[in-house]
A and B are shown apart, each in its own frame.
Chain A
Amino acid sequence: EDKVVQSPLSLVVHEGDTVTLNCSYEVTNFRSLLWYKQEKKAPTFLFMLTSSGIEKKSGRLSSILDKKELFSILNITATQTGDSAIYLCAVTSGSRLTFGEGTQLTVNP
């Protein structure tokens, strides 16, 4: 059975802090790993990673994949209160997407 595990499950930081969210996986027929941000409604896409060691960056967010060790990290630098959300990691295996439990990030002013 495909498995995606995220840690920590919740995190509370102050504005300006840097956070690192972790995602490890065990899947058959791995195709890609995706990060999503979920606020009140459906998840919004952040990154898709398919190759090991290549960092993807968007503003203050960045992510990297290690296919040998089967994990990915999502970094958020200089956090802002608007970064408060659930961050979901998901892995594509074949045509299915398996989600982790998510990390609830709270950024306090």
Chain B
Amino acid sequence: GAVVSQHPSWVICKSGTSVKIECRSLDFQATTMFWYRQFPKQSLMLMATSNEGSKATYEQGVEKDKFLINHASLTLSTLTVTSAHPEDSSFYICSARAGGSSYEQYFGPGTRLTVT
């Protein structure tokens, strides 16, 4: 149980285009989903926290207009990187939490984004 999927697993796009990444909890309802970014040889950096049906809470320094997050259902959250630039190239990982007394987050397999 507790499987989280991400799609696509890798994507290459041209500078200036937008890319949407999906995060799905497959066998549980995720009241909260988290989006992280990881640069090579660095740890995971939290970008934003999203609760189903409400606006995402962004971490300091993360542009909410550039990284659009939608958490429209209890099993799906999307991250859209708008007007992507080469410096947005990174590994994007989502995680999902079931809520209640569950503190554990379940991670998706990640999406490798390369902007050319």
A binding-site residues for B, Cβ under 8 Å = 31-32, 34, 36, 41-45, 48, 50, 88, 90, 92, 95-102
Q: Are A32 and B106 in contact (CB-based, < 8 A)?
A: no
Interface residue SS majority, chain B: strand
Residues of chain B within 8 A of A42, CB atoms compared? 93, 107-110
19 further A-B contacts with Cβ under 8 Å, apart from A32-B103, A42-B107, A101-B42, are A31-B103, A34-B104, A41-B110, A42-B108, A42-B109, A43-B44, A43-B93, A43-B107, A44-B107, A45-B104, A45-B106, A45-B107, A90-B44, A96-B46, A96-B49, A97-B34, A97-B95, A98-B46, A99-B46
B binding-site residues for A, Cβ under 8 Å = 32, 34, 42-46, 49, 93, 95, 97, 103-110
Interface residue SS majority, chain A: strand
Q: Contacts A34-B104, A41-B110, A48-B103 hold; do A88 and B95 have CB atoms under 8 A apart?
A: no
What separation, in Å, do the CA atoms of A6 and B95 have in the docked complex?
22
Residues of chain B within 8 A of A44, CB atoms compared? 107
Tell which of B44, B49, B103, B107 touches A92, judged by Cβ atoms closer than 8 Å.
B103
